[in-house]
Amino acid sequence: MRFHTFLFENARWLAGGFLLTFFSSYGQTFFIALSAGDIRLEYGLSHGGFGGLYMVATIASAATLPFLGQIVDRLSPRGVTLIVVPMLALAALMMAVSHHIVLLFIAIYLLRLFGQGMMTQNAATAIARWFVAQRGRAMSVTVIGVNAGEAVFPLLFVLVAGLWGWRNAWLLGAASLLLVALPAISGLVKVSRAPRASDPPVKKVRARDWTRGEVIRDPLFYLVLLGVLAPGFIGTTIFFHQIYLVDLRGWSLEIFASSFTFMAVTTVTFALVAGQLVDRYSAIALLPSFLFPLAAACLALGVLQPQWTAFLFMGLLGLSYGFQHTLFGALWPEIYGLRHLGAIRAMTVAMGVLATAVGPGLTGMLIDSGVSYPAQIVVMGLYCLMAGVLMIFVSRRLKARALSSPEPSASPAP
C-alpha cells in the first residue's frame, strides 16, 4: 500500500495519535525549560536548585506512571483522553497562577505525569494495537507530533511571553488544551480501528504475550533500556540548560530557538524513514541505528564554539530522535507482545521519564560544583558510542531468541 493511501484510509486514528503527542509538548522538558530563567529569578533558585526540584518532581511522576499507566489496558483511548487532557490543562493553569514553590513542584509533577507520560502512553499503546502489519508507518506518523510541537511551541512561547509575560503564555496553553485538544482528540479516537481487508499480511512472527513480571526478570530488557533511554536523558538535559548553554557560548537565544525547527524537520523526515524500515526489517533489527548520530551530535556540541554548531547538533539529534521515537513505539510489541502492552509501556515510559529527571538535576549540581558543562556533553557522546556497540549485540540476541521461541497463539489483543 502506498504511503499516501495509508494516510488517507487511516486519517482519523493517525490524527488522533498525532495530536496526543503534539499537545504532550506542554509536559515536555523543551517547553517547560523556556520558563526556566523566569522561574529561577522569581523563586530565587540556582541552576542546581531548580534542576533538583525538577528532578524530584519528575521522579515522583515516574513513580506514579507504572500504576496510572495501566488504565490504557482497561479504558478506551477516548476514555483515557477525557481524563488526561483536563489534568494536563490543570497543570498548565497551576504554572500560570502559582507563586509558591510547593505549588510550582505540584505543577511540574502534573505536567510531567500527564504530558510526557500519559499523553504519549495513550497514543503509542492505541496505535500499537490498532496497527500490526503497518505499525512502523503508523508509529512514525504519531510520534512526529512531538517534533511538530518542538517546531511550533518554542517560537510561540517566546512571542507570547515577550508580549504578555511567561505566566500568560502558560494560561493560553491551558486554554488550548481544553478548547482545542480535548474535543478534537476525543472525537478522533472515539471509534477504535478494526483490521481491514486492505491491510497487508503480517510478515513477522508476533511475540508471545509476556507479563510485566516476566519482563522485569528479563536481562535483555535492561540492556535495551541502556540504549533506548539515552536520547531522552541527553536531549532533556541540554534543553533544560539551554539558557545556560546559550549564555556560555555567547549565542543568540532567538537563533538557538529557531534551531528547534531544523531539528523538528530532520526528526520528522527520519521518523518517516524509520517507519518504512521497521515495517520492512523489524524494530529489533534497527535497534543500534540511532545512537551513533547522537554520539556525533554531543561531541560536536561539546567541542565546537560557533553559533552554527546549534544547527549541526539539532540536525544530528533530529536524525537520532526520528529513529528512536519510531523504534520506541514499535519495539516493545515486537519483543513482548500486545496483551499486557499498556502495563509494560507504563513501566518503560516511567523509566524514560526517570532518565529525563536525572539529567537536569545531576548536570545542574555538577554545574554548581564547577564542572565544565561542555565536558559533560562530551562524556554523553562517548557513552552513546559504547551503548551503540552494545545494541548490536543485544539486537542479535533478541533475534536469536525470537527464532527459538514457539509461535504464539493468534488470540486477539485487548
Q: Which pLDDT value is given to residue 409?
A: 42
Question: Distance between CA atoms of 383 and 399, rounded to whole angstroms?
Answer: 24
Q: Sorting pLDDT into bands at 50, 70 and 90, what band is 155? A: confident
Instruction: Write phi, then psi, for 66 (nearest 5 degrees).
Output: -60, -25
Please tell me which residue, 337 or 225, carries the higher pLDDT value. 225
The number of residues in the chain equals 414
Q: Mean pLDDT, the chain, as a whole number?
A: 85
Among residues of the chain, what percentage have pLDDT more than 70? 93
Q: Which pLDDT value is given to residue 11?
A: 85
Q: Sorting pLDDT into bands at 50, 70 and 90, what band is 407? A: low
Question: What mean pLDDT is predicted for residues 264-270?
Answer: 84
The CA angle 373-376-382, to the nearest 5 degrees, is: 150
- The residue among 54, 387, 20 whose CA lies nearest residue 231 is 387
Please tell me which residue, 254 or 95, carries the higher pLDDT value. 95
- Which secondary-structure segment (H or E) carries 108? helix 101-111
- pLDDT of 201 > 70? The answer is no
Cell of 208: 508471545
- pLDDT of 81 > 90? The answer is yes
Q: Which pLDDT value is given to residue 128?
A: 81
- pLDDT of 103 > 60? The answer is yes
Question: Distance between CA atoms of 182 and 390, rounded to whole angstroms?
Answer: 42
Q: Which range, 6-10, 14-18, 271-275, is most confident?
A: 14-18
For 268-292, give the DSSP string.
HHHHHHHHHHHHHH-TTTTGGGGHH
Question: What mean pLDDT is predicted for residues 82-101?
Answer: 94
Q: Sorting pLDDT into bands at 50, 70 and 90, what band is 200? A: low
Neighbours of 42 (CB within 10 A): 15
Q: Sorting pLDDT into bands at 50, 70 and 90, what band is 413? A: very low
Q: Sorting pLDDT into bands at 50, 70 and 90, what band is 412? A: very low
Q: What amino acid is encoded at 302 in this protein?
A: G
SS3 assignment, position 104? helix
Question: What mean pLDDT is predicted for residues 369-389?
Answer: 92
- The residue among 16, 43, 23 whose CA lies nearest residue 126 is 16
Minimum mean pLDDT range among 46-55, 173-182, 336-345: 336-345
Question: Distance between CA atoms of 96 and 165, rounded to whole angstroms?
Answer: 10
Write down the architecture of domain 10-193+209-404 according to CATH.
Up-down Bundle (1.20)
- pLDDT of 1 > 60? The answer is no
167-175 long-range Cβ contacts below 8 angstroms, 24+ apart: 167/95, 167/96, 167/97, 168/96, 169/35, 170/35, 170/92, 170/93, 170/95, 170/96, 171/92, 171/93, 171/96, 171/97, 173/26, 173/92, 174/89, 174/90, 174/92, 174/93, 174/96, 175/89
Question: Distance between CA atoms of 188 and 167, rounded to whole angstroms?
Answer: 31
Question: What mean pLDDT is predicted for residues 51-75?
Answer: 86
Cell of 129: 494495537
Q: Which pLDDT value is given to residue 350?
A: 79
CA separation, residue 146 to residues 91, 140, 142, 325, 361 (Å): 18, 11, 8, 9, 23
- pLDDT of 124 > 70? The answer is yes
- pLDDT of 92 > 70? The answer is yes
